[in-house]
Structure 1
Amino acid sequence: MKKSSLLTSLLLIATLTISACGSQTAEKPPTPTTAASPASPAPEASIAASPSPAAEASPEASPEAPAAAETAETYREKDGLFEISFPEGYTHQDTGSGVAFVSGDQGFGGSVDFGSAQGNQLNNTQLEEALKTEYEKRLEQVTWQGSEEQPDGSVRVDWVGTDQQGNELDAVSFVEQRGDNIFILNLFGINKAYQDYQPDAEAIVSSYRVRQ
């Protein structure tokens, strides 16, 4: 599969989730649930690091795993809402509502996406439910492996699934609301195990900064 079509595929998974989250209402806030998986950023005053999923997302990388490459390029959202860096060899594309990225060997990728909550204040249970509902619509198949609230207040969701192009995704997603914006960070092993790219995942997540 060409890089451009893979980026488009990854983007499709993320962007439509934002509109789903934004359309939710926050009437009776359910109690937050816990389990094991996603993350996101937020807008407001100062830049702060998002939680690191890689260490909790999967077991340690196998001996054959690609070495952690030094960060080669940093993407900064034009209004300063977030920034994220990618290891050498990664391709990334501005999506208009974030960025999609993929490794040089096409084995690992993901996206950061954000959008308006349309005046709604959603709790973590509602954000998680909205993300799951939308991904179930957009993916050919998805199995949820757990979710867990992170120290920074975001929710991490671990899952595996198949996209519309037939790619098997071994994924971690992070979702959160900051002000009137909802942010989602997705990381995927693409027809590969997430843990095979754990050094890359750790480098990407540790570089991720969002405006609080």
Structure 2
Amino acid sequence: MRALVVYCHPRKTSFTGAVRDVVVQKLEGVGADVRVLDLYARGFDPVLTAAEHEGYEACPDNCAPVESDVADIRWCDALIFIYPTWWYGLPAVLKGWLDRVFLPDVAFLMPDGENTTIRPGLQHITRLGVFTTCGASWWLTQFVGAPGKRTILRGIGVLCAKPVKKVFAAHYLMDSSTDKSRKKHLTRVAGKMDRLVGVPQRQAGPV
């Protein structure tokens, strides 16, 4: 398994970092090759420039400004996003990463003479995970439509392999969280990861 973890949080001491650590530990526990993209630590520029937009469909030259990120996407077969939900959606840095990296001939294929709509370009990805925190309640998030969750699990999910295994976990009411609720959520994250990637096989003891 080749797992790409896309991590997005500006503060090193955030609870989101603890979620990342559990995810990475679970991946390493099943022997996965793991790459972590820390968008804030890299200082990733989320702005799609006029020049990039002009050459958006000019494949493969469109990949040049984000060449290493595109290589990571093409390398992985498991894709996991870890981020805080802000205003019911993705942080601007993460949304900009999608804008700049999920390009034609990378994430999808453009319409052509035989196809009137886009076609999936991520069919090598068989596992998709989302782990997030929300200041709002579950009810209010659903009322608004949970756009961040939908962007990834539906929007990206439809471009992946069929079937694609998906997991999602969110800690709601994060601003009033407690030690107990955070520990409970980390246990939930661990369980979701077991569903996504499996449980490490126990080594047989000496006979």
> Does the pair score TM above 0.5?
no
Greater fraction of residues in helix: 2
- TM-score between both structures, scaled by the size of structure 1: 0.28
Greater fraction of residues in strand: 1
Computing the radius of gyration over CA atoms, which structure comes out larger, 1 or 2? 2
- TM-score between both structures, scaled by the size of structure 2: 0.28
